[in-house]
Amino acid sequence: MASLDDLKKRIASVKSTQKITKAMKMVAAAKLRRAQESAEKGRPYSEKMNNVILNLSNGISDKENAPKLLSGTGQEKIHLCVVMTSDRGLCGGFNSNIIKKAKSYFAKILDEGKELKIITVGSKGNDQLKRVYGEKIIENISFKESKNANYFDADKVGKMVIEKFEAGEFDVCTIFYNQFKKCNYSNSSSTANNPFK
């Protein structure tokens, strides 16, 4: 049986750990708040851009003379899938949900007898997909050196996809990514909105 001295030391140790955990929780909450604000600021621009592109492609009357990026090739034989994951782990279902959705889509494409090409963005996605779809992965892009997501990294991926389309390497491109959903967590209530519903 532990002595009174041992129990006192154990209690002090647990209290010390609680303080450290509380400080880490506060730092994580501040980082999450900054990331949430950043995601929310960019959303109106991406939604508006998506609407503009959809309106342009829907408004094409002469598909023969229209730019191929808007009108497409008219075929669905070769599918390019861009799988966007993180370069670091410890983020719960962030990567696994994307990979699960992508694998399901890959199986459907291959069952239909179509050709599949994969570009992985982020090392976590590449690590999980190369086991089964290694021969289908044509590019692996990693941004481990970048501390924050930025335009230049996104531009690099976008230019690569456009170059491959203009070279006639694929007919259809599908991008797999997570969409941020705002959660209103309350300290006073144990129930919170689930972002993964």
Nearest 5°: the CA angle 46, 51, 52 is: 95
Taking Cα atoms as reference points, which of 172, 159, 175, 167 lies closest to residue 73? Answer: 172
Task: Check if 91 is active-site.
Answer: yes
H or E segment to which residue 79 belongs: strand 78-84
* Cα–Cα distance, 18 to 15 (Å, whole number): 5
Q: Which residues are paired to 61 by β-bridges?
A: none
Phi (first) and psi of residue 195, to 5 degrees: -70, -10
Q: 83 near 125, Cβ under 8 Å?
A: yes
> Which residues does the annotation mark as catalytic?
91
